[in-house]
Amino acid sequence: MQISRRVVYESLGGGAIVFCLSLLIAPEGPALTSWATHPGWLAVLLLAARYGSGGLFAGAICAAAGVALASLCAGAGLGPLAARTSALGNLGAVAASAMVAWVADSQQRRGAALASQMTALEERARGAEDSVAQLTETALALRVRADRTETSLAFLYDVAVRMASSAPRDTAEAALELALARTGARAGLVEIADGSRLRMLATRGSLDALAPPVRRDRTACAAQEHRRAVQARDVAGVRICDSDLAAPILSRDGRALGVIALRGVPFAALGPASLSDLNIVACWLARGLAAATMDGPDSGTPAPELGLADAG
């Protein structure tokens, strides 16, 4: 049994109230009041109901001290007080206070047990939330993989046929369709070198009207500068309007023929796998464009190289 400072302070306050009541109800001798049970037991019952056995003992001591002090102040001495301790009413009050304290202790133990269970459940809930977040990320990653595996042979065959087309636009559109299917991007574009400038060859999806052209797209410029596929989060100073993924279109001898850029790529799809897929698509597109150029009316003219200064 532990008695806190709060119990002691409230018990002292109760004792002071009992002292005042004792002088008011029986100023000639508080211990000789005609009541069967002294009113001071009310304070003891309240403390026992509030704090259990600790409130019972602290309240009883302070109430007895208040009655004794009031009896001494009235000049009746402590003799009448000792005689009343064996009265049936006071004994009943003692029993009632003890039962109230027992009930209060039971409630406090039950409350402590419930609080402990609540703490354990909160910890389990936090752990469950973390597990749900991890499972959600895993589910998204698995969904992306499942979407990729659902790319049918018929779709791949159609893309392969169009990539072998003699029309560069058809080749670029097929490459974009394959890139969007593999990465989950919402939009993409292909621009190729036309002299010293970039010329739009194909687009797919809904491109943001506020997005900059490729020559000012920092992700696309970084891809052309490093001669490999890059993602926006690896580019310094990238803006929200820049492409999410970009890859250069390189000829077999390493000349830059253009760039393929994707926008609106899901966050879960941003990673090495998407970069590898986009790089493969860009290589396939480069071969298709080279074949289309060789088969075209100006096959004798080699494809121009896109200089890095023109892309900036």
In 10 A of CB 145, how many CB atoms? 12
Residue 128, classified by CB atoms within 10 Å of its CB into exposed (0-12), middle (13-18) or buried (19+), is: exposed
138 located within any domain: no
Residue 256: strand pairing partners: 250
Tell which wins on pLDDT, 180 or 29. 180
In a domain, 122, yes or no: no
pLDDT band at 210; cut points 50, 70, 90: very low
- Residue 310 confidence (pLDDT) above 50: no
Do 102 and 179 lie in a common domain?
no
Is there a contact between 78 and 68 (Cβ–Cβ < 8 Å)? yes
Q: For 154-166, what is the mean pLDDT?
A: 83
- Pairing of β 197-205 and β 245-250: unpaired
| Statement: residue 36 has pLDDT above 60 | no
| Cβ neighbours around 36 below 10 Å, total | 11
Please tell me whether residues 72 and 196 are part of one structural domain.
no
* Average pLDDT rounded to a whole number, residues 55-80: 73
**Cβ-contact 189, 198 below 8 angstroms:** no
Domain boundary pick from 117, 142, 174: 117
Q: Which residue has the higher pLDDT, 31 or 55?
A: 55
Predicted structure pTM score = 0.47
Comparing 16 with 78, which gets the higher pLDDT? 16
Quick check: is 123 in a domain? no
Gap between the Cα atoms of 60 and 77, Å rounded: 19
Same domain, 46 and 185: no
User: Which residue segment(s) compose the domain that 186 sits in?
Assistant: 153-311
- Domain end, chosen from 95, 117, 139, is at 117
Burial of 212 (0-12, 13-18, 19+ CB in 10 A): middle
Q: What is the mean pLDDT of the chain?
A: 76
Same-domain status, 307 and 167: yes
Whether 188 and 245 map to the same domain: the answer is yes
Residues 182 and 92 in one domain: no
**Cβ contacts of 24-30, under 8 Å, gap ≥ 24:** 26/74, 27/74, 28/74, 28/76, 29/71, 29/74, 29/76, 29/80, 30/67, 30/70, 30/71, 30/74, 30/76
In a domain, 130, yes or no: no
Residues 259-292 pLDDT 10s:
999 988 888 788 888 888 889 999 988 888 887 6
Q: Provide the domain count of the chain.
A: 2
Domain match, 69 and 193 both: no
Contacts (Cβ under 8 Å, ≥6 apart) of 246: 217, 219, 220, 222, 223, 229, 230, 259, 260, 261, 262, 278
**Sign of the torsion angle spanned by Cα atoms 155, 158, 160, 165:** negative
Tens digit of pLDDT for each residue in 211-248? 566 667 888 888 888 888 888 888 888 888 888 899 99
Identify whether residues 158 and 110 lie together within a single domain.
Answer: no
Contact 175, 190 (CB under 8 A): yes
pLDDT interval class at 299 (50, 70, 90) = very low
Whether 56 maps to a domain, the answer reads yes
Same domain, yes or no: 48 and 113: yes
Q: What is the CATH number of the domain that holds 160?
A: 3.30.450.40
Using pLDDT thresholds of 50, 70 and 90, give the confidence band for residue 30. low
Residue 145 domain flag: no
Residues 186 and 288 in one domain: yes
Kindly state whether residue 15 falls inside one of the protein's structural domains: yes
Q: Are residues 182 and 286 in the same domain?
A: yes
188 and 239 assigned to the same domain: yes
